[in-house]
Structure 1
């Protein structure tokens, strides 16, 4: 079979990538599976003496049952150098990172395309719930048909090079339909398997993970203060990397009313607390902005901007910033807990036209808003 019908698919051993494999087979593709071993956790090795992670074993077993070639790629060292280091670095800057966004662009698709070329595959595929369309000879990433499972938010950094060779077999299908499909195929255990919603390399609290990766962290960030909007000290905190914008629980400080983290200053090691209303804003600055099509972002057309995965996009307009890759988002209604380090994804009619990283809100001071 020629390379035009050969597709390399990322396999995690779960229901979505398994379903994607079988759908591609039915569509006439020669499917090859690739499972990346990125980060080992104790739960990946449930049996004594086990040397291969359970998810890789399950992916390989699925591949054997449906009769496709399968490869396991050990990329743990590179994953630690790139994704893990970026994750810890961002917290040390006072930001709250979104490692999945970085991983998809600079890691998963990097290796998928590299291995696809090696294995003579024209296409790569994943089990993400997203779709791809074309506009003016450019590829556009669109939301998946299932609004509850749409994962386009995590994929906004994929560029033309990646999208031109990507297939999303699940883009037009709902999760419930996938469950029924896999059940009919005889893979009941895939349907019953509980899916993890956490970051893949963090088994519990991210704070414990930071301490494991940065043994001197507690000593380096201890001794900071909670402050109010006027700068008055309210009490001591445990270190700025252990907090995130919008956090209310776990502050371990009693002030007689619910208080939230409204700002983090890593230079002064201060955490500003305020009431819920102090989390609201109509404007934010985004940096490292990427346009899907050159020149598609403008100041005249309304857009919808999504600032976290589990929240609805908010109608907004855009203003150009002082540098080419810096824009100001002007929301049409209040946005809550705008968090530096998180992704702001810009949509029009369910199509991603751009995105950026939420910057420190203090940058708003240089703009007349």
Structure 2
């Protein structure tokens, strides 16, 4: 039964870590009635350090924090749904020759789906997470923006959130730096949260993604087989292990000696070939993005010069946009050369630190139809 809704009742996604813990305490201080929700999406051996443990350690730590600060806490088991959506899509993208960004897909299509669903069930008007991002009110719309801490800004991963999600979301850490959060949590007496090492990897991959693919698809090596490394003219340079095991820009782990550093510049899943070239061959001034979403309808057409970020740990590049021949497809012209444009990754479009849209980077071969 749906509980009575309160305008100050907020559901916080709790991972057991420092950021979501700080989010709960900050919202409590701001007068919100905080409810914690920990999603059990994927189990890893490290989540169960004690013999016979049945509840993941991160969920236990989230529950303990909730008890200490006196808030309601729930654990939601969504492992089957996670496997059937996020894991399946992750594998499918690699089998297409792309390099997916599962966090981007997970945030809107999974985390916020269940956060809002459970918020309704538990009578919460709002949802909140420990992401370092901000939400701005702009001409009647809510627009995602970069967090104040430039080193921790996570708006790149959140670009798919639309008005439905943003209209009910709070990011308490958006205007705070990580160092300030550490001092805040330390001052609250939770020294262990500050000392705990934070994982920077994809949550369901404990090591190399190639091992994960093989674990999920035991027949993968036989299925894709080996193929050939080729140069820009198509000349065979040697053999590789199979196209899903490589990504654009990769230099290490190629296991081929050509007398100079070589990089993966193109992946052809149909021919099972990996093109190698020097660093200059990774540079481009143009790309196509597909599955484009706008912060609100029409904003990209009126945007003028923008900045486009093509990976999380890289600076946004000044660019201009023009609509493509296909709905949801846009052409990006960079004002300076971009390196290692990678199909399957996200391209997030900013104007004055606000996210006005984003899309998925397409294979560079799609540029052929736009050449004049």
Comparing 293-302 with 174-183, greater Cα deviation is found at 293-302
Distance in structure 2 (CA, Å) of the matches to 1:238 and 1:318: 37
Find the partner of 1:349 among 349, 352, 367: 352
Distance in structure 1 (CA, Å) of the matches to 2:123 and 2:179: 34
Find the partner of 2:41 among 32, 38, 43: 38
Q: Which residue of 2 aligns with 1:202?
A: 205
- What RMSD in Å do the two structures reach over aligned CA positions? 0.9
Find the partner of 1:190 among 170, 174, 193: 193
Distance in structure 2 (CA, Å) of the matches to 1:119 and 1:34: 10
Deviation at 1:154, TM superposition (A): 0.2
Find the partner of 1:162 among 162, 165, 180: 165
Distance in structure 1 (CA, Å) of the matches to 2:18 and 2:49: 20
Q: Which TM-score applies when normalising by structure 1?
A: 0.99
Find the partner of 2:69 among 66, 70, 91: 66
Distance in structure 1 (CA, Å) of the matches to 2:222 and 2:59: 38
Distance in structure 2 (CA, Å) of the matches to 1:220 and 1:300: 45
Deviation at 1:2, TM superposition (A): 5.4
Deviation at 1:170, TM superposition (A): 0.2
Find the partner of 1:171 among 167, 174, 195: 174
Distance in structure 1 (CA, Å) of the matches to 2:214 and 2:225: 13
Q: Which TM-score applies when normalising by structure 2?
A: 0.98
Once superposed, which parts of structure 1, at least 4 consecutive aligned residues long, lie more than 6 Å away? Answer: none
Q: Which residue of 2 aligns with 1:149?
A: 152
2:204 matched to 1:227? no
Comparing 300-309 with 230-239, greater Cα deviation is found at 300-309
Where does the alignment leave 5 or more consecutive residues of structure 1 unmatched?
Answer: none
Distance in structure 2 (CA, Å) of the matches to 1:368 and 1:106: 35
2:270 matched to 1:267? yes
Kept in 2, the 8 Å contact 1:222–1:237? The answer is: no
2:254 matched to 1:246? no
Deviation at 1:368, TM superposition (A): 2.1
Kept in 2, the 8 Å contact 1:133–1:139? The answer is: yes
2:17 matched to 1:14? yes
Q: Which residue of 2 aligns with 1:365?
A: 368
Q: Which residue of 2 aligns with 1:289?
A: 292
Q: Which residue of 2 aligns with 1:119?
A: 122
The number of aligned residues is 369
Where does the alignment leave 5 or more consecutive residues of structure 2 unmatched?
Answer: none
Q: Which residue of 1 aligns with 2:326?
A: 323
Distance in structure 1 (CA, Å) of the matches to 2:243 and 2:215: 17
Distance in structure 2 (CA, Å) of the matches to 1:148 and 1:203: 23
Deviation at 1:298, TM superposition (A): 2.0
Kept in 2, the 8 Å contact 1:299–1:318? The answer is: no
Distance in structure 2 (CA, Å) of the matches to 1:287 and 1:249: 29
- Match runs of 1:43-62 below 5 Å: 43-62=46-65
